[in-house]
Amino acid sequence: MIITHCKNLCKGDVLIDDRGKNGASEFEGEWIQFGSDRFPDWKSILGYLLPNGD
């Protein structure tokens, strides 16, 4: 886990953040917007990232 203000400088496959500010929407991997209609809570995010419950 990395906590930073400049999220677009991070390298990785997935970024979980609640806002597209501070570089989140420019992240090179997949941005999962926490609190959105598709991902309203951690259960929905884990179900997406770990669809088989692994």
Residue 7 per-residue DSSP state: G
pTM (2 d.p.): 0.79
The set of residues, in sequence order, having a beta carbon less than 8 Å from that of 38 and lying 6+ positions away, is 44
How would residue 21 be classed by pLDDT, with cut points 50, 70 and 90?
confident
d(CA 29, CA 7): 11
Contact between 32 and 14 (Cβ < 8 Å): yes
- Does residue 13 register a pLDDT over 90? yes
d(CA 54, CA 5): 31
Q: What is the pLDDT of residue 5?
A: 85
Would you list the domain boundaries of the chain?
7-49
For residues 15-41, average pLDDT? 92
Tokens standing for residue 29 = 């991997």
